[in-house]
A and B are shown apart, each in its own frame.
Chain A
Amino acid sequence: MTSVEAAYGAEGANGDDDDDDVDAEDAQRALRAWEKKYQSERAWEDLEEDPVTGRLRVTSEAQTAKARERRAKMAALATSAGAAKGMIRFTYVVVDLSRAANEEDFRPNRLSVVGQCATSFIREYFNQNPLSQLGIIVARNGVAERLTELSGSPEAHAAALRNALDASGDFSLQNTLNVARTSLKSIPSYGSREVLYIVSSLSTCDPGNVWTEIAATKAAKVRVSVVAVAAELHVSRRLTEETGGTYGVSLNADHLDDLIMAHAPPPPLPEDATKSSLVQMGFPQKKHLSKDALVVGTGGEYVCPRCSGRIDELPSQCAVCRLTLVSSPHLARSYHHLFPVAPFKEYTRDEASAKEVLECKACLALIKQTDPASKCEQCSNVFCFACDCYIHEKLHNCPHCTCEREN
């Protein structure tokens, strides 16, 4: 769905004018889009009763079709994985706490829904982007208030946001953009600079010309994305277009969550925005510290590999030698982006093997003739479809290739 349609679908956009009746009809039509899929397909024919348990289940043809669809999706993901991504991100989340956030078109009100979405986004962001940093700016009473500075601790941000959820006054695009831009100016050249707006307000109250601020943001290579709770706003759409970000308008609370979460995985790296560099980092060991020991550093469980100072949390910087310290599992979380498992081919049975019942090489499940099966092209083992999905979507290892690569 294009965002123009999405804008019509938003309930908060409706006023009382005659024009809006037309809009409301459009909204009805847009909302019915999801139903069309089922109208044409006679979805009930895909169901059958399980002879053993008596539960309804999806028939095998429908399953096969779904399997194909999912496999194509996995293949598409695997091919896009090679692209360079901005892995070290510096992001400001701007939360609009103007009086528009008190509207009750979401239950119980926009404020709490936005608060929840933003909190889960913050957690997911740090899960998917180790080493990245995030800060929160709230916009209320016409001014921008920097709630938290850029830092790497999800819980601190979540707690600060929880305590600040109180909306009043106007929203100012220019003020918030200015605060974010000046703060992002000082970050190292290899980091990607981003701002994510979650806007409820349908207007912006600015002290000067907002377009000059947008031009300055573009010049500073800050990527601005906007998720609008209510409806599309021309100035914010232009802002995203100028800076290379994305724009989305939410249809309902779930859609809002999807839109915000879409910003958690690292975005493709723009050509000139960042400069790549090698960063020296240490991987400390965790060692127990006896209570009466005399220590250098902050006195935690981790030991700096360069100077043997003690550090209490990761990621951080050694208090003694200023070496950046990270935990290697932290880094390793993102490696499946780099080395994805090659997509499996659909396994087709030839005449000779058409009758035999196969066994999945990973989970030992029996694969009946009607069940979809997949074959790894490298180790030529056959897997059941459930394992295929699990391997590509969660595990990111082909079990048998991993065994063989070793030798």
Chain B
Amino acid sequence: MAAREDDVADDKSLLVVLVETNPRYWAASEGKGDGTAAANGLSSVLEATTVFLNSFFALNQQNRAAVIAVHDDGCHYLYTSPLELNAGDASASATGKKRTKTATPSSRAAMSSPFAGALSLALCYCNRAQTLETAAGLRVRPRILCLQASQDNPTDYISMMNAIFSAQRQSIPIDAFALGEHDLPFLQQAAHITRGAYVKPTHGAGLLQYLLSTAALDMRSRSHLKLPAARGVDFRASCFCHKRPVSVGFVCSVCLSIFCERRSSCDTCGADFAADAQVTSVPSA
């Protein structure tokens, strides 16, 4: 008997969670930002994440996850479920491998955390999982969940965009949670472009509830849900000269670099704009 099309087994998912553990931010933000998810400190966020991951594993025996800590000096894998499907160790512990990392406090710590790097790392991991699964004739659906509290770092703009586009090409949705007071334009764009969900919890204490109701479900189940509507997306770019977010900028016609002010030559490609004193605009066709 042919199986009905909607009767297929649940998708098994690979979820990569990026948690911000930047000590600078968490130390500085202690007790601030009333009502946000970050107000109760890192431990409450981690607690919610752990419960969320346990319920994610309970949804499907074959669900797998990886957790990456986004620290001030780099990104570290905290936990990975076993990926390889070797005939020999099929009985390998389902608990996966806990990776311990002793964080070394670095002197050049910054208030913002390297989320572009973390996303790149997560994508490499998803890529490996996809290659392994395709080789075995299976299909895995990776997702990425970002839990970011600090603000975006505008210098990351290009690497962030590169990561977003390769996620889009591999159809990996990026779910983004803004835990702090501010909206996160980069993650907003990431969620918008990759068709993930962008959530900024209004009741910080209920972070777990938000996670369970949006990020726990695979893409197919999500189509039956009414997810929190995106209130808007900030499509601003960062200029190349001062790394400031700009809403009206000047674009080099040769290399498409964005500048926040008029200049006589392009820093990126060396094109000379001295010849035309007047700034032109593209005519509509």
Contact = CB atoms under 8 A, between A and B. Distances in A.
Nearest to A301: B232
Given A335-B161, A396-B166, A397-B162, A402 B253 contact: no
A390 B124 contact: yes
A406 B156 contact: yes
Interface in A355-402: 360, 362-365, 386-387, 390-391, 394-402
Nearest to A303: B232
Interface residues of B, number: 85
A160 B121 CA distance: 42
Given A277-B276, A402-B116, A323 B281 contact: yes
Given A52-B86, A394-B166, A397-B163, A286 B235 contact: yes
Nearest to B107: A407
Given A88-B253, A276-B254, A317 B284 contact: yes
Interface in A168-193: 187-191
Interface in B164-220: 164-166, 169-170, 189, 192-193
Contact of B118 (A323, A327, A403, A404): A403
Given A130-B256, A286-B232, A395 B250 contact: no
Interface in B228-264: 229-237, 246-259, 262-263
Contacts of B121: 362, 399
Interface in A298-346: 302, 305-306, 316-317, 322-324, 326-329, 331-339
A387 B125 CA distance: 9
B255 A84 contact: yes
A392 to B, nearest CB: 11
B156 A278 contact: no
A287 B134 CA distance: 40
B254 A87 contact: yes
B151 interface: no
B41 interface: no
Interface in A221-249: none
A288 B128 contact: no
A277 B282 contact: no
Contacts of A332: 157-158, 161-162, 165, 237
A283 B237 contact: yes
Interface residues of A, number: 79
Contact of A363 (B116, B128, B155, B253): B128
A131 B254 CA distance: 11
A395 B127 CA distance: 10
B271 A84 contact: yes
B153 interface: yes
Nearest to B259: A278
B272 A362 contact: no
Contacts of B87: 52-53
Contact of A285 (B120, B232, B257): B232
A285 B247 contact: yes
A278 B251 contact: yes
Contacts of A395: 120, 123-124, 162-163, 166
B273 interface: yes
B120 A329 contact: no
A331 B259 contact: no
Contacts of B249: 280-283
Please provide the 4 A-B residue pairs with the shortest distance between their CB atoms, ordered closest to farther.
A403-B117, A276-B271, A328-B237, A190-B253
12 contacts: A150-B285, A152-B285, A190-B254, A278-B252, A281-B250, A324-B281, A329-B193, A331-B237, A394-B127, A394-B166, A402-B156, A407-B106
Given A52-B86, A278-B273, 13 more contacts: A52-B88, A85-B255, A86-B254, A190-B280, A280-B251, A281-B250, A306-B248, A324-B282, A331-B256, A387-B124, A402-B114, A403-B114, A406-B112
